[in-house]
Amino acid sequence: MIKLRLKRFGKKREASFRLVATNSTSRRDGRPLEELGFYNPRTKETRLNTEAIRARLAQGAQPTDSVLTLLERGGLIEKTVRASVTVGQAKQAAAREAAAKQAAKEAAEAAAKAAEEAAAAEAAAEA
């Protein structure tokens, strides 16, 4: 399978990336089938060969997550909500609900305890 991925180059701690089409089993910095663009994360500079990228996508090439984000920013692909984002949002909502239920339960217990202490104080004041 052909993947669209980033190939690292540049100095140590000053990485830049080339967007390349390569076989999915080849090494990250191995020889690519075709170079399709450039991305510098430090300056956010991006240059994309749109015609070649569209041709590779039409052939069935699969972009990695980071490349997909670059293509969405470049306007080559419509932005879609990924399944991992949907699952993550559902988990966060469930966690918020559980925390709210726990807080409500603790508040009810604290109110009941305060009412018991008030009743005990009244009983002690009457005696």
Q: Looking at residue 127, what is its pLDDT?
A: 66
Q: Which tens digits make up the pLDDT trace of 4-41?
A: 999 998 889 899 999 999 988 888 777 888 899 999 99
Report the C-alpha gap between 52 and 36 in whole angstroms. 6
33: Cβ–Cβ under 8 A, 6 or more apart, which residues? 2, 20, 21, 22, 23
Query: pLDDT digits over 33-73, tens only?
Result: 889 999 999 998 999 998 999 999 999 989 998 999 898 98
3-state SS, 19-30, equals EEEEECCCCCCC
How would CATH label the architecture of 2-74?
Answer: 2-Layer Sandwich (3.30)
Whole-number Å distance between alpha carbons of 6 and 96:
37
Domain boundaries defined on the chain: 2-74, 83-127
